[in-house]
Structures are given as structure tokens and as C-alpha cells.
């Protein structure tokens, strides 16, 4: 199983959903190095999903560009795959049939026989290969989706809050497993979450985003070696640092709201004077 992580370059990317409308994200620039696990954290509406969709070519930015391995991203590709909160499996198919879909759709059906058992082993579902996906738990279904994403050998795995619908125990197990698998395979991981614990659990580095428009507010390294355990001092320290940056980012957004309200309120006394 030879995977290879890709280098991602985000170069002055801005996006508005309507021409001349409000910017969902403004002038974002950053790199993700091959094999790195980067997390984008920020409260709802700060442009996390918009950015991920731009990274995988589902959305074209109004300004700026994204390069993967030096090439501009123009469209989705099996080399960079996205996982969403809903595992979106085909309920009438077995586990192994679902895992094979990525290969089938990219014209690589000949690899199914060797890759699918490998991927099922990786996500610890070999015993469930012939089962119908409807018989599986939510966490197991998300593992099937992960195996399906990894089967075509992507260089980049993009995750948009993929675990937020799961119970805490299952979520924790998957956080650990996805980090382990991506590290073992050398895949570049870009993860989006509003959950600080999840960010510290999974990433080597965090970009904290502020909202309206979405901008990078802070960059924080999470240099914890080995297995990540929430009850260790280094985990607590990283979480603390990230919470502070997250609050500061939210505070900036609140300051913006205050400023806008002040600006809106200022003309009023003048108007009253005018009438007087
Ligand atoms: P997040 O994932 O961080 O919650 P999003 O990227 O979904 O944030 O949204 C960022 C901003 O862009 C929000 O203000 C949101 O309302 C807006 N937005 C997102 N998707 C669309 C869309 N399809 N059309 C118009 N506006 C959108
Ligand atoms: Mg989102």
C-alpha cells in the first residue's frame, strides 16, 4: 500500500456566493505540507465548508487559486477526496460493494479484488464484508465511507465535520483511527471542525478562522508526539491554547458587529440635528 501525500498551496483565495455580495472567505493563503494533518477550526458560518469545497474543486473561488502538487485545482479528482458528515452509502449494497464504488467510478475495477479487502482490514471491518450496510452502526458506516474514500489511493483526504453525528465514544475511536491511517499512509489531511477536542486529537497544526468574512485569525502548532490522550498535560496545554485563539477569533467577530452597529447608529444624532 503505497500512498503519497500531496502539497497543497492556497494562494490569496476569496469567495462570494454572489457577485458583489458578502465575502464568505477573504484573502486566505496557507500551505499544507505533504503528509501533514491540518485542521481548520472556527464557529459556524466562518467559511470552513466553502474553503474545503474550493480545495477539492467542487467550487471555483471568485479570486485566488489552489494548487495541489503545483497544479491548479479545476475539478474534483480521485486524487483528492472529501468525506462528509453523512456517509452517503448505497443502502441496498453490501459493505464490500460500497467500498468498491470509488474504484468502479474511476474506471479501475481491476483493482477491486486486491484493494477492497486491504481497505476493509485498515478500517477493521473485514468480518463485515458481505453484510448489508443498513445492518451497521453509524460509526461502522462512517468507516465504510472512509474505506471507500481511501481505496483509489488519494493523495489528499478532506473531512468536513465527518464525525459530528456520532456518539462521543465512537467519535473518539474514529478520530484516533483516521489520524493513524493518514499518518501511516502519508496522506495529507485537511479537516474542518468546530470541536476543539477533535482538532487537538487529529491535527499537527490548526488554523483558527474568524467569521464575516472568513479569515485566518491564528495559526497554532499541535506538536504532540505519539498517541494523543486527552488526560495528558501536553494535550490540555494544546487545547487551552486553541480555546484562547478560538475565543479571540469569535471576539474579533463580535468587535466587528459592535463597529457595524456603531456606524449604523452614528448618523442618527446628525439626522436629528438636521431636523431640529
Ligand atoms: P461553515 O462551514 O464554517 O459553517 P460555510 O462555508 O458553510 O461556513 O459558510 C460561510 C458563509 O457563506 C456563510 O455566511 C454562509 O451563509 C454562506 N454560504 C454558504 N453556502 C452558501 C451558498 N450555497 N449560497 C450562498 N451563501 C452561502
Ligand atoms: Mg460547514
Position 95 scores a pLDDT of 97
212's torsion region: left (phi>0), alpha (psi -120 to 50) or beta?
Answer: left
Angstrom distance (rounded) from CA 15 to CA 13: 7
Distance of CA 211 to the CA centre of its chain: 17
For the segment 99-103, the average pLDDT, to the nearest whole number, is: 92
User: 3 falls in which pLDDT band (50, 70, 90)?
Assistant: low
pLDDT reading at 109 higher than 60: yes
What's the chain's average pLDDT? Answer: 87
pTM of the model: 0.86
**What is the percent of the chain with per-residue pLDDT over 90, rounded to a whole number?**
62
- 48 CA to centre of ligand 2 in angstroms: 5
For the segment 192-215, the average pLDDT, to the nearest whole number, is: 93
pLDDT reading at 274 higher than 50: no
| Nearest ligand for residue 43 CA | 1
Higher pLDDT, 268 or 45: 45
pLDDT in tens, 229-267: 989 999 999 999 999 898 888 875 555 545 554 554 444
pLDDT reading at 156 higher than 70: yes
Position 271 scores a pLDDT of 38
Residue with the smallest CA separation from ligand 1 atom 20 is 50
Q: What is the CATH number of the domain that holds 199?
A: 3.40.50.300
**214 burial type by CB count under 10 A (0-12 exposed, 13-18 middle, 19+ buried):** buried
pLDDT reading at 193 higher than 70: yes
Is 170 part of any domain?
no
Residue with the smallest CA separation from ligand 1 atom 26 is 17
Is 135 part of any domain?
no
* Number of separate domains in the chain: 1
- The torsion of the CA quartet 262, 268, 274, 276, rounded to 10 degrees, works out to -130
Angstrom distance (rounded) from CA 147 to CA 143: 6
Is 253 part of any domain?
no
Is 205 part of any domain?
yes
Is 151 part of any domain?
no
Which residues fall within 8 angstroms of residue 142, CB to CB, at 6 or more apart? 87, 162, 163, 166, 174
Is 33 part of any domain?
yes
Is 95 part of any domain?
no
For the segment 75-104, the average pLDDT, to the nearest whole number, is: 89
Is 50 part of any domain?
yes
Domain that holds residue 27: 7-78+195-222
- 50 CA to centre of ligand 1 in angstroms: 6
Amino acid at each position: 500500500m503505497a500512498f503519497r501525500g500531496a502539497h497543497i498551496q492556497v494562494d490569496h483565495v476569496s469567495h462570494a456566493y454572489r457577485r458583489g455580495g458578502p465575502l464568505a472567505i477573504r484573502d486566505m493563503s496557507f500551505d499544507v505540507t505533504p503528509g501533514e494533518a491540518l485542521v481548520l477550526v472556527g464557529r459556524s458560518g466562518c467559511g470552513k465548508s466553502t474553503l474545503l469545497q474550493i480545495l477539492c474543486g467542487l467550487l471555483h473561488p471568485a479570486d485566488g487559486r489552489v494548487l495541489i502538487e503545483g497544479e491548479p485545482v479545476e475539478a474534483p479528482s480521485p486524487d483528492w477526496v472529501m468525506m462528509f458528515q453523512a456517509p452517503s452509502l448505497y443502502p441496498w449494497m453490501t459493505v464490500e460493494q460500497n467500498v468498491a464504488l470509488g474504484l468502479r467510478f474511476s474506471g479501475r475495477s481491476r483493482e477491486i479484488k486486491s484493494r477492497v479487502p486491504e481497505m476493509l482490514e485498515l478500517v477493521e471491518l473485514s468480518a463485515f464484508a458481505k453484510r448489508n450496510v443498513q445492518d451497521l452502526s453509524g460509526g461502522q458506516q462512517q468507516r465504510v465511507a472512509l474505506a471507500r474514500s481511501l481505496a483509489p489511493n488519494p493523495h489528499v483526504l478532506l473531512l468536513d465535520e465527518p464525525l459530528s453525528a456520532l456518539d462521543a465514544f465512537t467519535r473518539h475511536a474514529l478520530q484516533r483511527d483516521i489520524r493513524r491511517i493518514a499518518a501511516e499512509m502519508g496522506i495529507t489531511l485537511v479537516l474542518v471542525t468546530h470541536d476543539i477536542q477533535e482538532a487537538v486529537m487529529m491535527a499537527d497544526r490548526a488554523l483558527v478562522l474568524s467569521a464575516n468574512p472568513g479569515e485566518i485569525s491564528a495559526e497554532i502548532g499541535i506538536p504532540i508526539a505519539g498517541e494523543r490522550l486527552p488526560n495528558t498535560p501536553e494535550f490540555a496545554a494544546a487545547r487551552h491554547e486553541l480555546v484562547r485563539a478560538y475565543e479571540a477569533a469569535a471576539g474579533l467577530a463580535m468587535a466587528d458587529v459592535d463597529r457595524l452597529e456603531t456606524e449604523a447608529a452614528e448618523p442618527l444624532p446628525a439626522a436629528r440635528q438636521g431636523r431640529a
